[in-house]
A and B are shown apart, each in its own frame.
Chain A
Amino acid sequence: MNWLVELVLFILLLTTAVLALSVRDLLAAAAAATAFTFTMALLFVSMGAIDVGFTEAVVGAGIVGVYFIAAVFQTSRRTRD
């Protein structure tokens, strides 16, 4: 049963990673990167590394997401490349 949960998490991980790289709106890209980080934290917890997963969830999904949004508001909202 555990491999099924991990399979779903890995599919979600790949989806959010591709979404964060391909979407044109930088705010949506920041949100997708935050979702990627939180999925990564869930994967760490499913592997048994509670402390690593906790740190990843707090710093990656909490603080770095806020920094991404602050950086997007300092520049333009959409990419030009």
Chain B
Amino acid sequence: MTNPSESVIIVVVSRALARLIQLFGIYVIIHGHYSPGGGFQGGALLAAGVLLLRMTEGGRASQSEVSTEAAIPLAAVGALIFAGAGLVTLAFGGHYMDYGAVPVPGVEEPVVRYYGILLVEFGIGLAVMTALVAIFDDMVAPDPYGNAVDAAGDRAGTPPKL
């Protein structure tokens, strides 16, 4: 989990497969507003690619995509894009997430709605991807109570006092 896998086959196959999973995740986000899928499913697929690399190559393998420190702030940025796109329409006098109310010169109203939904889908995808990676990083982090795990996978010592 935290150490790289010793099998060459697992490492090579997961490297190739992670990129395919993430490519499909981007496809699902972009086509989310007129076909099954959307920001949540695409973000979960993007996170699945990152988690596959972290499981097979150790926690340091995919830090350049979503680092452990940046995961929670990026999730906040994604939620801000989601909520902020709705608040912008309020500022122009429409309802919450009523994208047609935003006046863009030279662009028809359905096109503005189209790109508004796409922007919100990107926000959801970013938030879901980074939040799922943050949950995984928190689960495999070293035990804050200092109990070591022996070779059989059992905890040594007494259970922590909560």
Contacts and interface: CB of A to CB of B under 8 A. Distances in A.
B44 A67 contact: no
Contacts, number: 52
A43 to B, nearest CB: 16
B36 A54 contact: yes
Interface residues of B, number: 23
B48 A62 contact: yes
B37 A67 contact: no
Contacts of B40: 55
Interface stretch (B4-12, B78-86, B94-102, B150-158): B150-158
Interface in B141-159: 143, 149, 152-155
B139 A67 contact: yes
B55 interface: yes
Contacts of A59: 41, 44
B126 interface: no
B157 to A, nearest CB: 13
Interface stretch (A7-15, A16-24, A72-80): A72-80
